[in-house]
Structure 1
Amino acid sequence: MTPDGVHPLSLEFDFGDRELTIHPTVVETDHGLVLVDVGLPGAVDRLEPALDDLGFALADVSTVMLTHHDGDHAGGLSELEEATDVFVVAHADEVPYVDGEEQPVKSPPDAERYPPVPVDLELVGDEVFRTHAGPMRVVETPGHAPGHVSLYFPDHRFLVAADALNNDDGFVGPKPEYTPDMATAIESVGTLADLDVETTHCYHGGTADAGTDAIREIYESLSQSRQ
């Protein structure tokens, strides 16, 4: 079950020759909304009506927490920052790719990238943030990206897995074709399997009624396939 104060979104984008639906998350706090991931360029036009449906405004977003730097998560960040003054949070290992010091990991060296944005707070893992849904703990889940993080709400056994897990076509692990370090990503699935989870929200595919047992099955299956 999704906790009160946590709001998964569903945003649709044209992506090449197909439509891409992504699922950022809005978390209520005493200091405004935390938006977990932004989306592709053009995200502001999609975020505004989605927030309005929840009774919020774009200006209520005080913080953006990036789970990682991929363009479908961070591509719309610069336009959001222009529209409202947001505080940007990302893992330290993601910062060089977000702020433009380095080219995104999955992009060719000379490819056009999304506009860089400075990061205001660098995470190192295990930070805990106060929210209206209780503590929100940062869990390091690298592999899909160098500093990929997931977010865990222990009071509700609720996990925001970002791209460490997927629910596009069944509840599965990270997509190998988009995961540069699959071995590390599998170990990150193991890290998530050690949590007491009842419900998992994925950036791709949305919320799954799947918890610790299902995550552990994925981990064991992926581990065996690598042997």
Structure 2
Amino acid sequence: MTPEGVHTLTFEFEFGGRELTVHPAAVETDHGVVLLDVGLPGATDQLGDALAEAGLSLADVSMVLLTHHDGDHAAGLTELEGETPLIVATHEDEAPYVDGRRHPVKTDSDDERYPPATVDLELTGGETFHTAAGPMWVVETPGHSPGHVSLYFPDHRFLVAGDAVTNDNEGPDAFGGPKPHFTPEMDVAVESVGRLAELDVETTHCYHGGTADADTDRIATIYDELRT
């Protein structure tokens, strides 16, 4: 179950000659809305519509917390910054890729990258944000990218996993691990799945595929399958 004060979103884009559907989340706090990932350019209009359905607005967004720097998560950031003042937070190992000091790891160095954005808050893992849904823990889950993080709401056993696990895989059960083709350090990513399996989870929200009734036991099963 999605906690009250947490809004799971669905954005659709044309990307690489195909339609891409992604699922950021918006979290209410006493200091405004924290947006967990942004999406591609063009996300701002979709975000405005989605927030309006929840009785919120773009002006309520005070922070973007990026799970990682991949373009489908972060490329719409500068567009959103043009609409409302933002604090941008991400893990310290992701910050150089977001702010332009380094080229995105999954993009060829000769390819054009998305516009860099200033990172205001560099996370190290273990931080707690106070939200309308209770504490939100920052959990380090590297491997899919150098400093990938997931967010965990212990009061509701609710996990926002970013790309650490996915829910759009082929087969009878869509829920599975990170996609190997897009995961440079798969061994590290597998251990991150194991770290998630140590949490008391009832529901998992994935950026790719949306929300799944995937609990701790299901995550642990995925971990066991990946490491064999």
TM-score bracket, shorter-length normalisation: over 0.9
SS in 2 for 1:102: coil
Q: Provide the residue aligned with 1:214 in structure 2.
A: 218
- Indicate yes or no: 2:28 matched with 1:28: yes
CA distance in 2, matches of 1:113, 1:132: 35
Cα distance per residue 1:101-125 (max 9 Å; x no partner)? 0000000111100000010000000
- 1:3 aligns to what SS in structure 2? coil
Q: Map 1:51-200 to 2 at 5 A.
A: 51-169=51-169, 170-200=174-204
The amino acid of 1:200's aligned partner reads T
Q: Distance in 1 between matches of 2:17 and 2:111?
A: 19
**Separation in 2 of the partners of 1:29 and 1:112?**
35
Deviation at 1:15, TM superposition (A): 1.1
Moved more, 46-55 or 72-81: 46-55
CA distance in 2, matches of 1:51, 1:27: 11
CA deviation map 1:157-193 (0-9, x unaligned): 0000000000013100000000000000000000000
**Identity among equivalent pairs (%):** 68
Deviations 1:119-176 (A, max 9, x none): 0000000000000000000000000000000000000000000000000131000000
CA distance in 1, matches of 2:135, 2:49: 28
CA drift at 1:54: 1.1
Which structure 1 residue ranges, 5 or more long, are not aligned?
none
TM-score by length of 2: 0.97
Pairwise CA distance, 1:96: 0.3
- Count residues in correspondence: 224
Deviation readout 1:55-106 (Å, 9 max, x if unpaired): 1111110000000000000000001011110100000000000000000000
What is the SS of the residue equivalent to 1:88? Answer: strand
Structure-2 separation of matches of 1:45 and 1:77: 12
User: Runs ≥4 in structure 1, deviation > 6 angstroms?
Assistant: none
Q: How big is each residue's C-alpha offset from its partner over 1:2-36, in whole Å with a ceiling of 9 and x where there is no partner?
A: 10000000011111221111000000000000000
CA deviation after TM superposition for structure 1 residue 42, in Å: 1.1
> What CA distance in whole angstroms lies between the structure 2 residues aligned with 1:45 and 1:131?
25
RMSD of aligned Cα (Å) = 0.5
TM-score w.r.t. length of structure 1 = 0.98
Structure 2 alignment gaps of length 5 or more: none
Q: Secondary structure at the match of 1:83?
A: coil
SS of 1:139's equivalent in the other structure is strand
